[in-house]
């Protein structure tokens, strides 16, 4: 897909992130040749088991950690080529909501100072204008503006995450990386935060990379979904298409584990055998083959790439009918 498409806000090509293993020449292949794009105004859900590399992708996108290789384009800018001052300026348009609302807020700062800190760092507005902006942001995420005088420990988990969202919105970003934003919250509070994120997206025209292992939440909020396994994207499609017609055997196994809210309906559960292989020494060929119920000998030899089997639906599996004839993804 062309990197000049004006509809694309983010275009990632062949992203790699390897972490060195202390006292060894080995590396942890956390992200290994990942490519995707995010269109303006959409939510791309990124799902997979813990340790598959999805949070590392989000942090590389913002250059919170430095990629080992690959290209990251954001709104026409090559993120990897930016110097420190240019990157700081670009980060006004790229923000992150962290997983843990307890760890992501400074316990020694009052809420007003936490939400207003981005405005201070980027020298936006006078002190009074920043105060008004903080009150407006707290009100917009469903909190009383008077809460600005309190400390984080005085709030529940859901309220803290709302404070984190308010801080993220302070600079009017275009892209928000939501890294497991509801996984640390009670189920009843998760829906409230997800609905808030959707409302804010409509109001401010936001674009999300929504990282989660909660498949039901991802289905609810996402426009498209990318499925990761052991550092690779194995399938990517519209949310409706992926949940209705999953093609990759790993995606099918994940979706079979979602509980059905109807005791009379039964879903055939696909139970994967064995543990996820180590990213230090991943299997040859297809990385999923050691746990795949339909693997054949060729799977150990062929490292499948993403191919488009129907409009917008790409999959990396030689066992999917039509894969070998499908055009290769650019």
Q: What is the pLDDT of residues 120-153, one digit of tens each?
A: 999 999 999 999 999 999 999 999 999 999 999 9
* Confidence check: pLDDT of 266 > 70: no
Same domain (yes/no): 20, 137: no
Indicate if the pLDDT at residue 2 is higher than 70. Answer: no
Q: How confident is the model at residue 256 (pLDDT cuts 50, 70, 90)?
A: confident
Q: 191: Cβ–Cβ under 8 A, 6 or more apart, which residues? A: none
pLDDT tens-digit readout, 89-122? 998 999 999 988 888 899 999 999 999 999 999 9
Other Cβ atoms closer than 10 A to 258 = 13
Judge whether 54 lies within some domain: yes
Range of the domain at 126: 106-172
Q: What is the CATH number of the domain that holds 17?
A: 3.40.50.300
Same domain, 163 and 182: no
Of 271, 295, 322, the last residue of a domain is 271
What pTM, to 2 d.p., does this model score? 0.91
Q: Predicted confidence band at 3 (pLDDT cuts at 50, 70, 90)?
A: very low
Is 320 part of any domain? no
pLDDT of residue 273: 79
b/e burial code for range 23-58 (CB count within 10 A of at least 16 → b): eeeeebbbbbbbbbbbebebbbbbbbeeebbbbbbb
Name which of 307, 313, 289 is nearest 299 in CA terms. 289
Using a 10 angstrom Cβ sphere, with 0-12 exposed, 13-18 middle and 19 or more buried, the burial of residue 235 is: buried
Residues 75 and 128 in one domain: no
Q: How many domains does the chain have?
A: 2
| pLDDT recorded at residue 183 | 86
CA 295, chain centre distance (Å): 28
| Confidence category of residue 301, pLDDT binned at 50, 70, 90 | very high
Q: What is the CA radius of gyration of the chain?
A: 21
**276: confidence class by pLDDT, cuts 50, 70, 90:** confident
Percent of the chain with pLDDT over 90: 78
| One domain, residues 12 and 157 | no
Distance CA 192, CA 101 (A): 15
Q: Kindly state whether residues 66 and 179 are assigned to the same domain.
A: yes
Stretch 297-316: mean pLDDT: 95
Contact indicator for 306, 300 with CB cutoff of 8 Å: no
Residue 258: half-sphere exposure toward Cβ, Cα within 13 Å = 14
pLDDT attached to residue 263: 67
Please provide the average confidence, as pLDDT, over all residues in the chain: 91
Query: From CA 219, how far away is CA 242, in angstroms rounded?
Result: 9
d(CA 69, CA 15): 6
Q: Is the pLDDT of residue 1 over 60?
A: no
Contacts of 12 (CB under 8 A, 6+ apart): 34, 35, 36, 37, 57, 61, 70, 71, 72, 73
User: How many CA atoms lie within 13 Å of 299's alpha carbon, on the beta-carbon side?
Assistant: 18
Tokens of 279: 């990213």
Section 198-215 average pLDDT: 94
């Amino acid at each position: 897909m062309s990197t000049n498409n004006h509809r694309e806000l983010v275009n990632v090509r062949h992203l790699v992130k390897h972490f060195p293993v202390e006292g060894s020449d080995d590396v942890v292949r956390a992200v290994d040749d990942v490519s995707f794009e995010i269109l303006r105004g959409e939510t791309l859900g990124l799902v997979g088991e813990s340790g598959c590399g999805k949070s590392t992708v989000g942090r590389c996108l913002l250059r919170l950690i430095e990629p080992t290789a690959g290209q990251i384009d954001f709104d026409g800018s090559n993120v990897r080529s930016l110097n420190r001052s240019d990157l700081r300026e670009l980060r006004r348009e790229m923000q992150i909501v962290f997983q843990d609302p307890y760890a992501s807020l400074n316990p020694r700062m009052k809420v007003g100072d936490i939400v207003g800190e981005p405005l201070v760092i980027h020298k936006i507005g006078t002190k009074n204008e920043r105060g008004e902006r903080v009150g407006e942001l707290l009100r917009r995420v469903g909190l009383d503006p008077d809460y600005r005088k309190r400390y984080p420990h005085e709030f529940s988990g859901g309220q803290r995450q709302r404070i984190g969202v308010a801080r993220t919105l302070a600079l009017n970003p275009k892209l928000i990386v939501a890294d497991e934003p509801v996984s640390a919250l009670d189920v009843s509070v998760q829906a409230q935060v997800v609905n808030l994120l959707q409302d804010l997206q409509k109001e401010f025209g936001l674009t999300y990379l929504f990282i989660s292992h909660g498949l039901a939440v991802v289905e609810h909020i996402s426009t498209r979904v990318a499925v990761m396994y052991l550092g690779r994207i194995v399938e990517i499609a519209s949310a409706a298409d992926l949940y209705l017609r999953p093609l990759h055997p790993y995606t099918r196994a994940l979706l079979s584990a979602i509980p059905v809210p109807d005791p009379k309906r039964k879903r055939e559960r696909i139970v994967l055998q064995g543990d996820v292989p180590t990213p230090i020494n991943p299997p040859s060929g297809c990385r999923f083959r050691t746990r795949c119920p339909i693997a054949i000998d060729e799977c150990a030899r062929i490292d499948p790439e993403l191919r488009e089997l129907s409009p917008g639906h790409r999959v990396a599996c030689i066992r999917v009918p039509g894969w070998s004839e499908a055009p290769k993804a650019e």
